[in-house]
Amino acid sequence: MTSPSAARYADVVPYDTPTRLADLVGPTTGTVRVGAHIDTSPVPVYDLDDPDQVWALYTRVVRDGTPQDQARLLNRDLLVSLWPTLQLPPRCRLVWVSRFSELSSAA
C-alpha cells in the first residue's frame, strides 16, 4: 500500500528544456546518432527522411534529452509541427508547454 504522501516517479521526474525554441537548430535530413540516455538500442541511429523515425526521435529527445541534445538534434519548426502527435508523459508535455506557449497553440 502506498502512503498518501508518497510521490510517484512520474510526478517528480525531471524534464529538461532548452532555454529558447530558437536554440533548436538540429538537422532535418540525413541520419543522427543519439546517446544511450536517449536510446539504449544497439544502433541508436535515426533516419530523418523516415517520418516514423523522426517521430520516435523527437519523442525520445524531448522526454529524455539534455538541453544540449535538444539543441543539437531537434529542429524548431519540425518540433512545432510534430508537437501535437508526440507521445509524451503528461507532465513532460506540461513542462514544455509551460515554458513555450507557442507549443500550446500547435496542439
Using one digit for the tens of pLDDT, what is the confidence trace for 53-78?
A: 999 999 999 999 999 999 999 999 99
Enter the pTM of the model. Answer: 0.88
Residue 36 lies in a domain: yes
Residue 88 lies in a domain: yes
Distance CA 74, CA 84 (A): 15
**pLDDT number for residue 45:** 98
Cell of 91: 507532465
Alpha helices in 13-89 (DSSP H): 51-64, 67-73, 76-82
Residue 51 lies in a domain: yes
Q: Domain count of the chain?
A: 1
**pLDDT number for residue 13:** 80
Q: How confident is the model at residue 30 (pLDDT cuts 50, 70, 90)?
A: very high
Say whether pLDDT at 36 is over 80: yes
Residue 9 lies in a domain: no
Residue 2 lies in a domain: no
Distance CA 105, CA 48 (A): 25
Which residues constitute the domain of residue 39?
A: 25-106
Cell of 75: 529542429
State the virtual CA torsion across 98, 102, 105, 107 in degrees, nearest 10: -70
Residue 11 lies in a domain: no
Q: CA-based diameter of the chain, in Å?
A: 49
Mean pLDDT, all residues of the chain: 92
Residue 6 lies in a domain: no
Say whether pLDDT at 107 is over 60: no
Q: Which candidate, 98, 43, 54, places its Cα nearest to that of 79?
A: 54
Asked if residues 61 and 34 have their Cβ atoms less than 8 Å apart, the reply is yes
